[in-house]
Amino acid sequence: DAGVIQSPRHEVTEMGQEVTLRCKPISGHNSLFWYRQTMMRGLELLIYFNNNVPIDDSGMPEDRFSAKMPNASFSTLKIQPSEPRDSAVYFCASSFEGPYTEAFFGQGTRLTVV
């Protein structure tokens, strides 16, 4: 398996623009997570899905952020409108559902909002 695939790897956008980050989880995994890494807050969970259903979105910072998982092999994280403080590395991870399982991470998308 190619692992968790994220695109794009880098995104530079202007403040106010819409940004869409994409993720393809590992085939067979039924949990998917979106994390954000910043210097100030470290790795923080934004949202996670089990079987394509959002289970916990309490980490989504504002209404400007939204995430979807239309099927088991694809998820998006959208920011609209984007702001400079959204600049961070966004990671997608997937795992089997259930306790005592490790999550596998993608390589991340580095977002810069200018």
Whichever of 70 and 99 has its CB closer to other proteins, that residue is 99
Q: How many CB atoms lie within 10 A of CB 49?
A: 23
Whichever of 31 and 75 has its CB closer to other proteins, that residue is 31
Minimum distance from residue 3 beta carbon to other proteins (Å)? 9
Under 8 Å between Cβ of 75 and 67: yes
Whichever of 67 and 106 has its CB closer to other proteins, that residue is 106
C-alpha 2/C-alpha 37 separation (Å) is 23
Minimum distance from residue 72 beta carbon to other proteins (Å)? 16
Which residues bind to other proteins, rule: CB under 8 A?
A: 4, 31, 33, 35, 42-45, 48, 50, 55-56, 91, 93, 95-108
C-alpha 59/C-alpha 52 separation (Å) is 17
Minimum distance from residue 6 beta carbon to other proteins (Å)? 8
